[in-house]
């Protein structure tokens, strides 16, 4: 019948063909019994197939569509947790904290409260990792190792930019070890010749 045909096609992983049939059914028979459930199942199967082929971003996009179609779909929380967590881990392995946080933001904003519970756990992991860097910075400050301490704070803010505990450490470093960062346009030569018409040479030469 009209309902079982696209469902069968989606189970055979012919998602593009199944999509066309679902669009036609939704337009011609919007109240057809079981149609909404079949569409939800189709979206989940398509998302999981993309996930299996490492197309995690596309899989997450389809799960967003599923959430908009049926935010209480029973297996949606587990699906989102699996796909979004893998994307976050991939970015973390690359050291791309900003991209990982963007995925977390999508997770929290695009899914229902019940579905986004896993995002809360991830946020806590981000915050805890950042706090460990702040603890390391405090330890280094006590040892008056201010430059490594500042780097630890920078790592903490890269992980979680809104961390409240970072500012007091930076303020203390600024009080105890004030310094100025100077930007230059040219690298210094390894062996600076004696000349006054080259700023990079002047910067590296003895007065």
User: According to the 3-state scheme, what is the secondary structure of the chain?
Assistant: CCCHHHHHHHHCCCHHHHHHHHHHHHHHCCCCCCHHHHHHHHHHHHHHHHHHCCCHHHHHHHHHHHHHHCCCCCCHHHHHHHHHHHHHHHHHHCCCHHHHHHHHHHHHHHCCCCCCHHHHHHHHHHHHHHHHHHHHHHHHHHCCCHHHHHHHHHHHHHHCCCCCCHHHHHHHHHHHCCCCCCCCCCCCCCCCCCCCCCHHHHHHCCC
pTM for the model stands at 0.77
Question: Would you place residue 124 in the very low, low, confident or very high pLDDT band (cuts 50, 70, 90)?
Answer: very high
Mind listing the pLDDT tens digit for each residue in 21-46?
Answer: 888 888 888 888 889 999 999 999 99
- Which pLDDT value is given to residue 190? 63
Look at residue 9 and tell me whether its pLDDT is greater than 70: no
CA distance 92 to 89: 5
pLDDT of residue 193: 65
Closest CA to 15 of 43, 34, 37, 35: 43
pLDDT tens column, 41-75: 999 999 999 999 999 999 999 999 999 999 999 99
User: Is 70 exceeded by the pLDDT of residue 115?
Assistant: yes
Average pLDDT over residues 122-140: 97
pLDDT at 192: 58
Q: Write down the residue that tokens 């903490």 correspond to.
A: 156
């Amino acid at each position: 019948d009209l309902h079982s045909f696209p469902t069968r096609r989606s189970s055979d992983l012919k998602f593009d063909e199944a999509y066309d049939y679902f669009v036609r059914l939704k337009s011609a028979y919007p109240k057809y019994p079981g149609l909404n459930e079949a569409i939800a199942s189709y979206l989940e199967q398509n998302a999981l197939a993309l996930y299996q082929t490492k197309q995690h971003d596309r899989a997450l996009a389809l799960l967003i569509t599923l959430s908009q179609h049926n935010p209480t779909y029973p297996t949606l929380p587990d699906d989102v947790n699996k796909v979004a967590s893998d994307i976050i881990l991939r970015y973390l392995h690359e050291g791309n904290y900003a991209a990982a946080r963007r995925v977390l933001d999508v997770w929290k904003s695009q899914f229902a409260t019940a579905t986004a519970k896993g995002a809360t756990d991830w946020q806590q992991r981000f915050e805890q990792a950042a706090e460990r860097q702040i603890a390391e910075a405090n330890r280094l400050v006590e040892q008056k190792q201010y430059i490594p301490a500042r780097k630890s704070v920078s790592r903490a803010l890269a992980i979680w930019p809104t961390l409240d505990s970072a500012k007091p450490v930076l303020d203390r470093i600024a009080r105890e070890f004030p310094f100025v960062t100077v930007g230059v346009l040219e690298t210094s030569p390894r062996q600076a010749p004696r000349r006054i018409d080259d700023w990079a040479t002047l910067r590296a030469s003895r007065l």
